[in-house]
């Protein structure tokens, strides 16, 4: 340790009381976090790339400072999906400090990691007041049937109005319009359930038909349109 001449010549003043860091809530306990291993919790965060072309939702489950579980969800950029694949392999096993200083391939995923680090380090996790925290695997609970992300995709123009393309329920196949041409419902296919059925040996056409559903006043439609082709 090197000291400047000015500091070296200073008189020594004794340090008063030191109560340490303020306790933060972690998995149902109040913890004075002094080292990385003192940090635990499950939480989510959002990141975006510099051109704001795409975004990432990152979920981490941290136990004793080490990432045990990572869920990486991306939208808006095709290359980001490949980056997410690598990040899901890179993150588990790292401490949150290592992960903060790791190149997670995609700018949006790196930003999401930064935002999560702030939440976790300050005790603002989703599991802050859950005794014992959440088990490894809890991150998957954010996904829908068939382990598909909750995605909403909508498109609209002034000239032709709105088009519902994908809802939480699934891939939108038809939009129901009333006599005024206003949307009153839609038909969808739950892709997760359909693919599960196909993998279990169900004929694809039958699996498709069994996983078609409707929302709203679909049966009262004056007209049905395919949102991707009409």
Q: Could you report the per-residue pLDDT of 18-64, keeping only the tens digit for each?
A: 888 999 999 999 999 999 999 999 999 999 999 999 999 999 999 99
The pLDDT score that the predictor gives to residue 19 is 84
Predicted pLDDT of residue 18:
82
Q: Is 190 helix (H, G, I), strand (E, B) or coil?
A: coil
Mean pLDDT by 10 residues, the chain (230 residues): 94 88 94 94 94 94 96 92 95 96 93 95 92 93 83 95 94 96 96 93 96 96 96
Query: How confident is the model at residue 227, as a pLDDT?
Result: 96
Do the beta carbons of residue 181 and residue 174 sit within 8 Å?
Answer: no
Question: Rounded to the nearest 5 degrees, what angle is found at the Cα of 48, between the Cα atoms of 94 and 25?
Answer: 50
Q: Give the span between the Cα atoms of 103 and 117, in whole angstroms.
A: 15
pLDDT score of 147: 87
In Å, what is the CA distance from 30 to each residue of 86, 89, 128? Answer: 34, 31, 9
Residues in the chain: 230
CA gap 90, 102 in Å, rounded: 9
Closest CA to 136 of 60, 47, 46: 60
Pairing mode, strands 183-189 and 55-63: unpaired
Contacts of residue 94, defined as CB under 8 A and 6 or more positions apart, other chains included, come to 66, 67, 102
Asked if 43 contacts 125 with a C-beta cutoff of 8 angstroms, the reply is: yes
Say what the pTM is: 0.87
Q: What pLDDT is stored for residue 210 in this prediction?
A: 95
């Amino acid at each position: 340790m090197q000291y400047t001449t000015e500091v070296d010549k200073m008189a020594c003043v004794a340090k008063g009381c030191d109560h340490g860091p303020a306790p933060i809530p972690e998995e149902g306990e109040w913890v004075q976090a002094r080292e990385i291993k003192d940090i635990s919790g499950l939480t989510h965060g959002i990141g975006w790339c510099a051109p704001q072309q795409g975004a990432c939702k990152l979920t981490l489950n941290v136990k004793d400072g080490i990432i045990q579980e990572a869920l990486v969800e991306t939208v808006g950029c095709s290359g980001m999906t490949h980056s997410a694949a690598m990040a899901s392999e890179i993150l588990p096993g790292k401490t949150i400090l290592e992960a903060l200083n790791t190149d997670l391939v995609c700018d949006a995923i790196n930003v999401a990691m930064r935002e999560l680090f702030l939440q976790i380090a300050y005790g603002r996790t989703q599991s802050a007041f859950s005794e014992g925290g959440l088990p490894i695997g809890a991150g998957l609970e954010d996904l829908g049937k068939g382990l598909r992300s909750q995605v909403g995709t909508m498109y609209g123009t002034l000239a032709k109005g709105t088009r519902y393309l994908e809802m939480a329920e699934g891939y939108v196949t038809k939009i129901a319009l009333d006599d005024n041409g206003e949307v009153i419902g839609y038909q969808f296919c739950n892709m997760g359930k359909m693919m599960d059925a196909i993998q279990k040996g169900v004929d694809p056409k039958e699996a498709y038909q069994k996983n078609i559903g409707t929302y709203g006043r679909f049966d009262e439609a004056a007209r049905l349109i395919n949102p991707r082709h009409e």
